[in-house]
C-alpha cells in the first residue's frame, strides 16, 4: 500500500536533508504538517512535491516557486476531494449537492488521498449511502494502517490492569506514568487516562482483593466502563471541534438553514 503519511525522519530521507531542515520547512509553511495526527506528520504528496529540490538555501525566488508548486498540488488535491463526493453521487443518485457540501466540510480534516480511498472502500461494502461517520471511521483505519498505529482496546487495557494488580499491589495507588510529582504511595503505571478513570470507578482495592475466579465479572465491568468513557471522550472532542470558533457555529447554522429550506421542496415533489 502506498504510504500516505510521513514522519519527520522519513520526509528528511526522501528530501535528502536533515531533520532540522524539515522542521524549518514546516515553520515556514512550505511543508505543512497534518494537525489532526499526533506528532509531526506530513502528507506524502506534499513531501514528494518537494523531492529533488535544492533546499540548502532559501532565496525569495525559491520560496515563491515552492509555494506556487504547493498551491498547484493543493488544487489537485481539491479535485481529488471533489471527485470523491462525485463518486458518492454517481453511486447514490439521491445524494444532493447540499449533502455533498456538508460531507466535504465534515471531512475537511482528512487528507485528500485518504478520503478518496475511504469513500471507495465504504461504497464497495455498503448497500446504502455511506454516512460521514462511516467514511471517517474507514479513513481512521487507513491512516492507522499507514502509520503503524492503532487505538488501544478495552480488552488490551484489561490485561495491563491484571499485570498492575500483581506488580503494584493493594498498598500503592497506580497513576499515570507522566504524573509529576509522585506521592510516596503512588506507582507510575498507566499510559491511558481512560484506563486510570475506569480503574478508579471500579476501585483499586476491589480489583486487588477479588479472587481469580470472580475476575470475569470485573473484566466485563471494566470493559463496559472503559468503552463508555471512550465514547464520552469522543463525543466531547467532536463537540469541541464543532463549536470551535465563530466560523464553525456559522457553518452549522448555514447548513441547517439550507437543509430546512430544501425539505418543503422535497415534500412538494413527493406529493405530485
Reported as a single tens digit per residue, the pLDDT across 67-98 is: 777 778 778 877 888 898 999 999 998 999 89
Range of the domain at 73: 5-147
Rounded CA gap, 122 and 130, in Å? 7
The pLDDT confidence band at residue 225, using thresholds 50, 70 and 90, is very high
Question: Mean pLDDT across the chain, nearest whole number?
Answer: 80
- Res 62: pLDDT: 60
- Tell me: the pLDDT tens digits for 141-152? 888 777 666 556
Mean pLDDT for 53-69 is 60
In terms of domains, do 98 and 42 share one?
Answer: yes
Provide the domain count of the chain: 2
**Are both 140 and 11 inside the same structural domain?**
yes
pLDDT at 54: 47
Using an 8 Å Cβ cutoff, are 199 and 160 in contact?
A: no
Length of the chain: 272
Residues 164 and 214 both lie in one domain: yes
Query: How confident is the model over 39-56, as pLDDT tens digits?
Result: 788 888 888 777 755 444
Give the confidence band of 233 by pLDDT, cuts at 50, 70, 90.
confident
For residue 231, the model assigns a pLDDT of 86
pLDDT at 1: 45
On whether both 138 and 208 belong to a single domain, the answer is no
Q: Point out the domain boundary residue: 132, 147, 162.
A: 147
**Are 67 and 113 within one domain?**
yes
Q: Is residue 31 located within the same domain as residue 112? A: yes
Amino acid at each position: 500500500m502506498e504510504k500516505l503519511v510521513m514522519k519527520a525522519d522519513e520526509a528528511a530521507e526522501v528530501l535528502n536533508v536533515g531533520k532540522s531542515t524539515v522542521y524549518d520547512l514546516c515553520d515556514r509553511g512550505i511543508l505543512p504538517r497534518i494537525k489532526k495526527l499526533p506528532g509531526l506528520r506530513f502528507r506524502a504528496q506534499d513531501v514528494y512535491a518537494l523531492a529533488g529540490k535544492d533546499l540548502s538555501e532559501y532565496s525569495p525566488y525559491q520560496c515563491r516557486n515552492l509555494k506556487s508548486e504547493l498551491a498547484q498540488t493543493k488544487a489537485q488535491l481539491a479535485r481529488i476531494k471533489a471527485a470523491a463526493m462525485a463518486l458518492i453521487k454517481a453511486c447514490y443518485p439521491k445524494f444532493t449537492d447540499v449533502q455533498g457540501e456538508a460531507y466535504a466540510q465534515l471531512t475537511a480534516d482528512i487528507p485528500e488521498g485518504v478520503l478518496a480511498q475511504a469513500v471507495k472502500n465504504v461504497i464497495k461494502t455498503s448497500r446504502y449511502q455511506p454516512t460521514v461517520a462511516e467514511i471517517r471511521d474507514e479513513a481512521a483505519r487507513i491512516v492507522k494502517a499507514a502509520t503503524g498505529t492503532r487505538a488501544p482496546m478495552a480488552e488490551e487495557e484489561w490485561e495491563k490492569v491484571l499485570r498492575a494488580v500483581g506488580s503494584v499491589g493493594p498498598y500503592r495507588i497506580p497513576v499515570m506514568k507522566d504524573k509529576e510529582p509522585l506521592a510516596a504511595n503512588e506507582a507510575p503505571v498507566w499510559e491511558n487516562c481512560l484506563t486510570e478513570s475506569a480503574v478508579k470507578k471500579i476501585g483499586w482495592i476491589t480489583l486487588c482483593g477479588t479472587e481469580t475466579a470472580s475476575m470475569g465479572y470485573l473484566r466485563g465491568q471494566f470493559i463496559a466502563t472503559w468503552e463508555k468513557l471512550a465514547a464520552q471522550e469522543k463525543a466531547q472532542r467532536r463537540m469541541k471541534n464543532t463549536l470551535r470558533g465563530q466560523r464553525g457555529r456559522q457553518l452549522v447554522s448555514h447548513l441547517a438553514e439550507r437543509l430546512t429550506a430544501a425539505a418543503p421542496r422535497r415534500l412538494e415533489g413527493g406529493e405530485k
